[in-house]
C-alpha cells in the first residue's frame, strides 16, 4: 500500500485554548498515523525560517510573531493521500469559509490564528518534516 506523509502544527492559539487533545483526536479518528510528534516553542528566528516562503507577503511579520508567541505541537502524519486528505480535514485557511466538521471551522479564530498548519504539497511535507524531526525521531 502506498503511504504518504504530511506535516502539521497545532498553532499557539489552539494550544492556548486547551484544544491539543481534541485536535489530535480528530486527526487520529480521520485515519492518520503519528510518525513523529513534539511539543515545542519556536523562536522568532525558527518561525521566520519555517515560513520563509511567505517572507514577501504583508502578513509575514505578524505570522512570525504569532507563531513564536507560545508553544506548538509539531507532528508528521502518515496516510494514503496524506497531504490532500489532511487539507480536507482541516478546512480552508480562512476559517469563516471552512466547511462544517473541519478542524478550522471548530477551533480557528481568524485567518492568521487558524488553529493548525497542514503542508500544501508532498515536496513541502518532506521539507517541513525535516525542519522539525531527525530520522531518529520518526517511527
Residue with cell 507577503: 57
| Binding flags for ligand CMP, 65-94, as an x/- string (CB under 6 A) | ----------------------------x-
Residues 104, 105, 107, 108, Cα dihedral to 10°: 60
117 has catalytic annotation: yes
CA angle 92, 93, 98 (to 5 degrees): 35
The DSSP line for 79-132 is ETTHHHHHHHHH--SSGGGPPTTSHHHHH--SSSS-SEEE-SSHHHHHHHHHHH
CB of 136 to ligand CMP, least distance (A): 26
Position 59 contacts ligand CMP (CB under 6 A):
yes
Stretch of residues binding ligand CMP (CB under 6 A), selected from 12-20, 24-32, 74-82, 107-115: 107-115
Instruction: Tell me which of 89, 117, 125, 129 binds ligand CMP, using CB under 6 A.
Output: 117
Q: Which residues are the active-site residues?
A: 117
Instruction: Note the residues at the interface with ligand CMP (CB under 6 A).
Output: 54, 59, 63, 93, 111-112, 114, 117
Amino acid at each position: 500500500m502506498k503511504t504518504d506523509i504530511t506535516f502539521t502544527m497545532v498553532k499557539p492559539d489552539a494550544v492556548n485554548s486547551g484544544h491539543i487533545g481534541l485536535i489530535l483526536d480528530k486527526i487520529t479518528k480521520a485515519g492518520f498515523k503519528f510518525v513523529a510528534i513534539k511539543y515545542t516553542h519556536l523562536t522568532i528566528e525558527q518561525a521566520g525560517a519555517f515560513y520563509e516562503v511567505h517572507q514577501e507577503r504583508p502578513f509575514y511579520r505578524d505570522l512570525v510573531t504569532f507563531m513564536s508567541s507560545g508553544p506548538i505541537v509539531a507532528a508528521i502524519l502518515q496516510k494514503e493521500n496524506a497531504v490532500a486528505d489532511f487539507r480536507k480535514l482541516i478546512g480552508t485557511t480562512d476559517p469563516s469559509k471552512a466547511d462544517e466538521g473541519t478542524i478550522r471551522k471548530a477551533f480557528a479564530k481568524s485567518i492568521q490564528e487558524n488553529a493548525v498548519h497542514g503542508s500544501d504539497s508532498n515536496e513541502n511535507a518532506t521539507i517541513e518534516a525535516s525542519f522539525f524531526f531527525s530520522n531518529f525521531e520518526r517511527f
